[in-house]
Amino acid sequence: FRDIHLKSLNDYKGAQTALQKAVATNDLFVHSTSNGATVPALISNHLKLPTYQLVKSATGVDNDPRVVEARDLAANDLTTVAQSATTYLGTVYAVQVKVCKAMINPTNAAERFAEALQSYSGTIISGVGSTDLNRWTPCITMLKAAFLQELEDLNLEFCARQAKAAKAKETKATLVATARQDAEMIDAIKPVGELISE
């Protein structure tokens, strides 16, 4: 039973870590699209018109109306693809967060734990020739309740760590912004000659 408990506990902690990473990835993506850019650099860096090299004697190719029209059409198509890719990637990251949140449902995890214990105990009981496969069910029910409490406590600790990390990140961002403003104020009061010499 101990091995099943440790595996179930490690799986749950792994799911918490996966959720943390999924949320961070989603937040980073959302932040990259909310800074005035409709298409984040992650996508726009990959979607570009191909480069080409012309022979020296072929002058005026870039300005030919057919080339200009084809280039404009391709650029418009790339814009459409970039917007679709942004929507697609945003959806992927949002769904990933939902899937990870479902993985850390303590009730479901406790149920899986109890099912694993029931299967294991059934194998042992039937292996010794007994027909009462529900013999350990009362014990498993109590272990399930204790495991559920343990998972709920883990969730509280996880949420507290997340809140503390978010607060630290916010404090750091505030300190950086304040330091930047202080530096700008110092530069603003310097004489022009001193700024030029720097």
Amino acid letter at 128?
A: V
Instruction: Report CA dihedral (172, 173, 177, 183) to the nearest 10 degrees.
Output: 40
| pLDDT, averaged in runs of 10, over the chain (198 residues) | 91 92 91 77 85 86 93 93 91 95 91 92 84 84 94 89 82 80 70 63
Q: Report the pLDDT value the prediction gives residue 192, as an integer from 0 to 100.
A: 60
Tracing tokens 């995890």 back to the chain, one arrives at: 109
**Tokens standing for 54?**
């012309």
- Model pTM above 0.75: no
Domain spans of the chain, in order of start: 1-104
Q: Report the pLDDT value the prediction gives residue 130, as an integer from 0 to 100.
A: 78
